[in-house]
Copies of this chain bind each other. A is one copy, B any other.
Amino acid sequence: MTNEMIYNPHVSVDCVVFGFDGSKLKVLLIERTINEQNELYNDKKLPGSIILTDEDLDDAASRVLTELTGLKNIYLSQFRSFGNPKRTDNPRDILWLENTTQLKIGRIVTVAYVALIKIDRKIQFKSEISQANWYDLNEVATMNLAFDHAEIIKKGLEYIRHSLDIEPYLLFELLPRKFTLSQLRSLYDTVHQTNSDVRNFQKKVALWAYVVALDEMEEGVPHRAARLYKFKRTPNP
């Protein structure tokens, strides 16, 4: 049985996983090492891979993310496909693909997914296959990424900005279970590229049924402790 019977080398999935560390938005990238005429070349890429022949796209995205980063049960949303025939033109990318898959690779159409996750949960990037790390979005803009992954990240970011406008409760995927209104506001302003007024923001949030105040305060901060809040899923958010 050859790899060709298991893998479909014409379609791939890529996952753009965004995280928030309290002040900045980050993307999850994995290390890639290419053996080019015995010179090792290192760069970064999105977690992604070709799909299995009998696998749905959503399933492929979850599987690949788990295999490459160890992350499980992440809510991934398909946002766009990329099929420029030139996207697999770089010889370095082809070399790497053929080495990793042991398949003859031609043109690949990729289906891209986004996810939002809390950086706070003790993430163990456990994978035997690859090494995953968070990178600052600004930093990523200046990095050399594999394939058209820079473009995919850009479109993914547009997509989540957009989704968060429509479904603001998605923000809570990015926050710790208990959070302060400053954290929420800082995140809100980061993704919306705004600078909200503190009072107006508190009023706005007071109208969101899915944000509930707790009887708990922050601890160990070098200033007045802030009230903690939690996110509560509501019947129709």
Contact = CB atoms under 8 A, between A and B. Distances in A.
Given A109-B109, A109-B111, A111-B109, A51 B83 contact: yes
A84 B56 contact: yes
A232 interface: no
A40 to B, nearest CB: 32
A219 interface: no
Interface residues of A, number: 23
A107 B8 contact: yes
A178 B132 CA distance: 56
A88 to B, nearest CB: 11
Contacts of A82: 57
A78 interface: yes
Contacts of A109: 11, 57, 109, 111
Nearest to A11: B109
A85 B10 contact: no
A168 interface: no
B57 A81 contact: yes
A125 B107 CA distance: 33
Given A11-B10, A11-B11, A111 B85 contact: no
Contacts of A111: 81, 83, 109
A106 B4 CA distance: 13
A8 B81 CA distance: 16
Contact of A53 (B57, B78, B80, B107): B107
Nearest to A9: B10
18 contacts: A8-B10, A11-B11, A11-B83, A11-B109, A51-B83, A53-B106, A54-B107, A56-B83, A56-B85, A57-B81, A57-B83, A57-B84, A60-B83, A78-B81, A81-B81, A81-B111, A83-B111, A109-B111
